[in-house]
């Protein structure tokens, strides 16, 4: 994507009421103004909150919001030019239960209050295969503890990925640390028990993976 296109998208993001782009200082230097108030002040309702971490173009967040109008969905990514597409679609289709937040995922425990979030989706994250990149894996121990802090006691995390490495790493970690695995599947399109929200939404990149005959894996778990 050219820099002119990016600038145009950044500008348009600023006009969308469903996009919020705080500075790092706004989050780290004082209590973030929406912390504990996301449903009431951002979504203007009291419905459950579901996060998609590393939402990319925002296709999954928008797809889930269409599938579950009784829930609020918030896509989070540091690259605003990417989720511009999802934000624009939501504005054009007058969807009130989906929004986008431009920030770094490691700050989520400063952005959301304890027990504020009902569910988390992690879709096709970078598996960060090199050992020195372990700290950036979105299912490492440190991230799991952040999720536990902001999730309700019965809240769940969903991981959907084409990376067998990420799937195996996460399963091993969950077993090793004693977390509750609710569903694990290493080929969702070959399994008749795959949930509708797992097989019913395909992102641009997922369609590419499927064309390459890559298996799509899924884990649903609860952090203990």
- Catalytic residue numbers read 126
Structure tokens at 210: 């499927």
Phi and psi angles of residue 156, each rounded to the nearest 5 degrees, phi first: -125, 160
In eight-state DSSP terms, residue 100 is: E
| Tally of CB atoms within 10 A around 133 | 12
Task: Count the helices and strands in the chain (H runs, E runs).
Answer: 9, 8
Contact 16, 83 (CB under 8 A): no
Describe the chain by its helix, strand, coil percentages, rounded to 5.
45, 20, 35
């Amino acid at each position: 994507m050219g820099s002119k296109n990016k600038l145009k998208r950044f500008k348009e993001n600023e006009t969308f009421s469903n996009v919020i782009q705080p500075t790092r200082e706004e989050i780290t230097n004082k209590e973030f103004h929406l912390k504990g108030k996301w449903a009431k002040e951002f979504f203007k309702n009291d419905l459950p909150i579901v996060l998609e971490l590393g939402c990319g173009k925002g296709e999954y967040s928008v797809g889930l919001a269409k599938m579950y109008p009784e829930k609020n969905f918030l896509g989070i990514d540091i690259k605003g030019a990417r989720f511009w597409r999802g934000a624009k679609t939501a504005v054009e289709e007058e969807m009130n239960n989906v929004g986008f937040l431009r920030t770094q995922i490691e700050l989520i425990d400063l952005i959301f209050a304890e027990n504020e979030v009902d569910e988390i989706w992690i879709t096709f994250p970078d598996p960060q295969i090199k050992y020195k990149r372990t700290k950036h894996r979105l299912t490492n121990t440190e991230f799991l503890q952040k999720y536990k802090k902001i999730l309700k006691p019965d809240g769940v995390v969903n991981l959907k990925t084409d990376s067998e490495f990420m799937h195996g790493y996460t399963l091993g970690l969950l077993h090793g640390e004693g977390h509750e695995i609710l569903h694990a599947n290493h080929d969702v399109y070959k399994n008749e028990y795959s949930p509708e929200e797992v097989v019913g939404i395909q992102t641009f990149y997922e369609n590419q993976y499927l064309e390459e005959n890559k298996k799509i894996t899924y884990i649903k778990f609860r952090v203990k």
